[in-house]
Chains A and B, each alone.
Chain A
């Protein structure tokens, strides 16, 4: 018991989310057990969350620095559209793609991430533009370019080998999209907890000025962070391509707010300096469980999902507020 308490105290954000998850799972058990607790449903969920889950991972890194990345959706759509252009350019709209070409698509996504992330970081670190505005402007520009490239319409004729593969599952059970998410999550966990980058990132987020005086290469840190974020977003875009099997300039526009919501819910402070991967991953899972659960209720509009997300976010804030209030003023 004592140990449980300690664990709860140490990981308050995560523990709280897990409690909410358990309550929700019990609720679903009592009401929609047959529809919700099916293998197929869990597989679907596991296949769907990686697209915004990946974006949330990137936003998390940026928010730990005290910044934010609002360009994730623009980057994601740009990645998927570029992938389609690449495929159509090389193999033609009716052609087929050999599996050996697969890495090229990922390489392209990573390259895009590096370009976009560097641009964000350049504006933020060198020109000292507030991150919210820099990434907002970049997002707008990227979205604009996506519209120009696609003429605003959806493109769905291109070689489908990529999207077919990634909408499927490894050994028929582990969705490929989940695999990509897990790989990214493990890499980010390693960066945060097992390399000096994590310590530097959190210290920078606590106080950038002191970081400068301590000899941290703050510019390099910001480049690394915003590039990681953009690469995650670009991978998220590829996952979207797999899900929809088509591309459009305005897919996933909700994902910006959604990923910020996830990150905050996961216990990352928007003022920077604080945040753990475990919290964010738990928040991603929670949101997906709620969304999917609500969809099981025929009579409830799917639009209630956003309402519940907002309510959960406010609830987490209020719980935090009650927990942190000093006893004696």
Chain B
């Protein structure tokens, strides 16, 4: 085998008393696509920060291109040809594409003046390497996520990159955009650039990578050729647990629908959406990122009230003009972006759990019943097995899976009939994902009507008793759990 590009062995690092990495190793060959996987908190990002010079390791060796590296600073790392593309892309939203591309070079040149001609030249060169067609004078804030990512990739390529590290690059992309990204990755490979691709989406790992490495709890658990990996093994490596395949069959279906939609329309987003939901069933709605699925969720919850059509609860049409109307009608929404829409991160676990039912925790006239509040918090922490020492701690102290449980607890505390979940397990590791699915199935079996909106097809297929496919704002297909499979859904949503 040829000499490896990067060889990190027995890396250790601790912060205070916490051992973030106890013993991990990673080896990347020149020009290969390597996938690094692991659950949240397994040490993936810590290792990347060591490689890129943000953290200094406490032990272990790193070789790049055969050369032993003692201490790595961020500048060293860039000079070696290592580029990291973080999830937020580190772009300047208020500047043009051209400037975003050229700024680093301009600053590094130590010149005091900006030559706009030069900026343009640099930018044109940068985008031409991946044949990225974009108006260089547009401000970055007006680009789509995928376009922003292309800008970030173009920028990374300008530094004679030999290893590009992409931190969960597909999270906010549509299927089409993911395909386009993969094309680019293959192009880069042909140019001899190695890619370290961080993901915990199984299908992506299989599709794009040649080799893989998996960490768990700061240790290396497996590394090898992707061909030798399968579904079960992957899950086991990631979690250390085995899960049985299951499909959900409703046990306690209500006779009458708990909620019906009749020709619900939000101009420009979705049109004439009709369906009915019965208590005890889990209805899946799936579609591409821009299919209108998120807007549908927001309309049912009153954030973006529908322009026409009806939402019917218990046989009567109700008006849902804002989230309060929705909650009054016993409809809750677990939003897409847990961090910016679902949780008050700096606030206590307790406050986050009770905030939506807070008006019921009173002795009348808005006077807070603190005992009742504490009882509620205790109840839900127990019920959803939220792992915390003290519910007064801020939510930031919890893992992604536990945070998602808090969002669930918040809605369950409101005594709902209908719970809508938009991307319920995005960014949640496999173990917690499984637990959340178990909770949802249990809730459905207790009579709750659940709607899961997701593009994670195994999630939809494994948990829903019925699946609707939405495409360009219209419902185009409906499958029962017996007839559904991934191929049918993909055909319908494309």
Contacts and interface: CB of A to CB of B under 8 A. Distances in A.
Interface of A: 194-200, 202-203, 206-207, 209-217, 273, 328
A213 B366 contact: no
Given A199-B368, A203-B355, 4 more contacts: A196-B358, A211-B344, A213-B342, A328-B16
Contacts of B335: 213
Contacts of B367: 194-195
Interface of B: 15-16, 303, 323-324, 326-327, 333, 335, 340-347, 351, 355-356, 358-359, 361-362, 366-368, 410
Given A202-B347, A203-B347, A209 B358 contact: no
B355 to A, nearest CB: 5
Contacts, number: 65
A43 B58 CA distance: 63
Contact of B341 (A200, A203, A209): A209
Given A215-B324, A215-B356, A210 B303 contact: no
Contact of B340 (A194, A202, A210): A210
A213 B344 contact: no
A207 B344 CA distance: 6
A196 B362 contact: yes
Nearest to B366: A195
A206 B351 CA distance: 12
A206 B343 CA distance: 10
A162 to B, nearest CB: 32
B359 A196 contact: yes
A196 B368 contact: yes
Given A194-B367, A194-B368, A199-B355, A215 B344 contact: no
A216 B15 contact: no
A201 B8 CA distance: 49
Contacts of A194: 367-368
B303 A213 contact: yes
Contact of A206 (B324, B341, B346, B362): B346
Nearest to B369: A196
A128 B141 CA distance: 20
A215 B341 CA distance: 12
A180 B368 CA distance: 25
Contacts of A199: 351, 355, 358, 368
B72 to A, nearest CB: 16
Contacts of B356: 214-215
15 contacts: A194-B368, A196-B362, A198-B368, A199-B358, A202-B351, A203-B347, A206-B345, A206-B347, A207-B344, A210-B340, A212-B303, A213-B341, A214-B355, A215-B323, A328-B15
Nearest to A204: B344
Contacts of B323: 212-215
Given A195-B368, A199-B355, A210 B362 contact: no
B368 A206 contact: no
A202 B367 CA distance: 16
Nearest to B332: A215
A207 B355 CA distance: 13
A215 B342 contact: no
Contacts of B341: 209-210, 213
Nearest to A191: B366
Contacts of B359: 196
Given A209-B340, A209-B341, A217 B324 contact: yes
B355 A216 contact: yes
Contacts of B351: 199, 202-203
Given A194-B367, A215-B327, A200 B358 contact: yes
Contacts of B368: 194-196, 198-199
A196 B366 contact: yes
A191 B16 CA distance: 41
Contacts of B358: 196, 199-200
Contact of B346 (A212, A213, A273): A273
A214 B351 CA distance: 11
A203 B344 CA distance: 7
A197 B366 contact: yes
Contacts of A217: 324
A194 B340 CA distance: 28
Contacts of A213: 303, 323, 333, 335, 341-342
Contacts of A195: 362, 366-368
Contacts of B326: 215
Q: What 4 A-B pairs have minimum CB-CB distances, sorted nearest first?
A: A215-B323, A215-B327, A195-B366, A206-B344
A85 to B, nearest CB: 35
Nearest to A203: B344
A196 B363 CA distance: 10
Most B Cβ at <10 Å: residue of A196, A203, A215: A215
A211 B322 CA distance: 12
B146 to A, nearest CB: 24
Contacts of B343: 210
A206 B359 CA distance: 19
A214 B326 CA distance: 11
A209 B362 CA distance: 24
A213 B344 CA distance: 11
A225 B220 CA distance: 53
B411 to A, nearest CB: 9
B396 to A, nearest CB: 12
A196 B368 CA distance: 5
B323 to A, nearest CB: 4
A293 B142 CA distance: 57
Contact of A210 (B16, B327, B333, B344): B344
A177 B410 CA distance: 44
Contacts of B342: 210, 213
Nearest to A220: B324
A217 B333 CA distance: 16
A195 B366 CA distance: 5
Nearest to A217: B324
A101 B327 CA distance: 46
- Counting chain A CB atoms within 10 Å of each CB, the highest count among B333, B335, B346, B358 belongs to B358
B410 A214 contact: yes
A42 B437 CA distance: 65
B427 to A, nearest CB: 16
